[in-house]
Amino acid sequence: MAAANFADSASAATLPLAGIRVIDFTQVMMGPVCTQMLADHGADVIKIERQGAGDLSRSTFAPVAGHDNPIFCSLNRNKRSVEIDLRDAAQLELVKALIADADVVTNNFRAGVMERLGLGYEDCKRLNPRIIYAVGTGFGETGPYAHKGGQDVLAQAMTGVMARRADAAVPVSIYPTALADYTAGMHMVQGILLALLQRERSGEGQKIAVSLYDSMLAMQMQEAAMIMMADSEVNWAAMPLSGVFHTTTGPLVLVGAFKANPLRDICAALEIEDLSLDARFANLPAQFEHKEALHAIFRARFASDTREHWLAQLEAQDLLSAPVREMREALVDAQTLHNAMIIEGRSSTGQPLKFVASPIRMSDVRAGLRREPPRLGEHTQEVLAEARALLEQAAA
């Protein structure tokens, strides 16, 4: 039962993916973050879960298990949950009836799992030539690592992302969140939308595949081109006019870039002589060479006053700068609230639900919370009745 403060379900019909049905075999993060984006924007996402345990993220990491686990909740709003034993022939037939009538099938099992279940792309295409079949793996469906279990941190480790984080005091934020899962999940969304568009013209579906590994390589497109085309490493962390600096009231980050003479402007903000006139710091190569001397001057100035003071000074020079802060602060920030980035509801058991909203803003519609994250198997009877009706219809 939906709580009273949920978005009006009638408004779902106005969302861009209204009428699109997704049979969703995904679990943990890469797949669920993709299908939540589809669900937020109006798709009917039917989440197929293992009997008894369900999605691994119902029981991972968080202190609360099951339906109330915030990790699970953050990835599974606006979906229906069905508990199914895919090894049971009768239940598998019902799932196939759903696929025959659906638009999209998604999974992020290890390569080969869906084929062994009789639910590979060729099987699904035979059931429904219009089906769009989206696969997320760790490394690829074939190739030397296809058999390995995939996980976010492994993809970051193997593609150079982790190696880049050599020093915590740098203006690059990498690793300590599920970058690979989120990126690959968003690539999966894009692949599905592209295939939906192409289906408009061709009348046929197709398979799209993404992996954690490829997404991490793609994310580093600039650094990769520098290595392959100029045999040079871009080290954003070492940029001489950027860095994290400590003030009397907390750290700030300064990115001295995208200006004609950022060093002159930094000096103006710090109210010191213009160091860009000093031969040691006159150009970028010289600034690299004497970075330690430059940063010693910056550090001493920043340490002499408050963060608020220095941010105002830097902003007055239109220098890119920001406080370095905890996520707790960002979640209640005026810009976060202004952007409507938090959506709230209350579950049917009375649990407060509070999530980060879809970051995609559309001028005519706004995705919201229509369904609470489902209890395991909450919609089993309802969805199986729909599947039986589809089977009867097909037989008639």
Does 29 engage in binding with ligand OXK (CB under 6 A)? yes
Does 84 engage in binding with ligand OXK (CB under 6 A)? yes
Of these, 70, 110, 186, 358, which contacts ligand OXK (CB under 6 A)? 110
* 8 Å CB contact between 161 and 172: no
Which helix (DSSP H) or strand (DSSP E) does residue 134 occupy?
Answer: strand 132-137
Rounded to 10°, the helix 262-270/307-316 angle is 140
Stretch that binds ligand OXK, among 8-16, 78-86, 256-264, 362-370 (CB under 6 A): 78-86
Does 99 engage in binding with ligand OXK (CB under 6 A)? no
CB of 111 to ligand OXK, least distance (A): 8
* In the chain, alpha helices (H): 30-40, 70-75, 89-101, 113-116, 121-127, 152-158, 161-164, 179-202, 212-219, 221-230, 262-270, 284-289, 291-302, 307-316, 327-331, 334-338, 380-395
Q: How far apart are the first and last CA of the chain?
A: 33
Distance from C-alpha of 207 to C-alpha of 135, rounded to nearest angstrom:
8
Of these, 22, 45, 86, 124, which contacts ligand OXK (CB under 6 A)? 86
Is the Cβ of residue 150 or residue 373 nearer to ligand OXK in the bound state? 150
* 8 Å CB contact between 84 and 52: no
Distance from C-alpha of 293 to C-alpha of 377, rounded to nearest angstrom:
63
Is the Cβ of residue 152 or residue 265 nearer to ligand OXK in the bound state? 152
How many residues make up the chain in this entry?
396
Stretch that binds ligand OXK, among 146-154, 219-227, 282-290, 303-311 (CB under 6 A): 146-154
Does 116 engage in binding with ligand OXK (CB under 6 A)? yes
Stretch that binds ligand OXK, among 102-110, 274-282, 322-330, 360-368 (CB under 6 A): 102-110
CB of 299 to ligand OXK, least distance (A): 37
Is the Cβ of residue 148 or residue 291 nearer to ligand OXK in the bound state? 148
HSE, side-chain direction, 13 A CA sphere, residue 222: 3
Binding mask 147-186 for ligand OXK (x = CB under 6 A): --xxxx-------------------------x--x-----
Stretch that binds ligand OXK, among 36-44, 81-89, 213-221, 338-346 (CB under 6 A): 81-89
Does 117 engage in binding with ligand OXK (CB under 6 A)? yes
Within 8 A by CB and 6+ apart from 364, the residues are 14
Which helix (DSSP H) or strand (DSSP E) does residue 343 occupy?
Answer: strand 342-346
Is the Cβ of residue 88 or residue 329 nearer to ligand OXK in the bound state? 88
Q: Give the closest residue to 61 by CA, choosing from 31, 28, 34, 39.
A: 28
CB of 361 to ligand OXK, least distance (A): 27
Is the Cβ of residue 85 or residue 318 nearer to ligand OXK in the bound state? 85
CB of 116 to ligand OXK, least distance (A): 5
From residue 134, alpha-carbon distances to 67, 104, 241 in Å are 26, 7, 43
From residue 254, alpha-carbon distances to 248, 258, 378 in Å are 16, 12, 49
Does 108 engage in binding with ligand OXK (CB under 6 A)? yes
Does 245 engage in binding with ligand OXK (CB under 6 A)? no
Is the Cβ of residue 158 or residue 252 nearer to ligand OXK in the bound state? 158
Binding positions for ligand OXK, rule: CB under 6 A: 28-30, 48, 50, 84-87, 108-110, 113, 116-117, 136-138, 149-152, 178, 181, 212
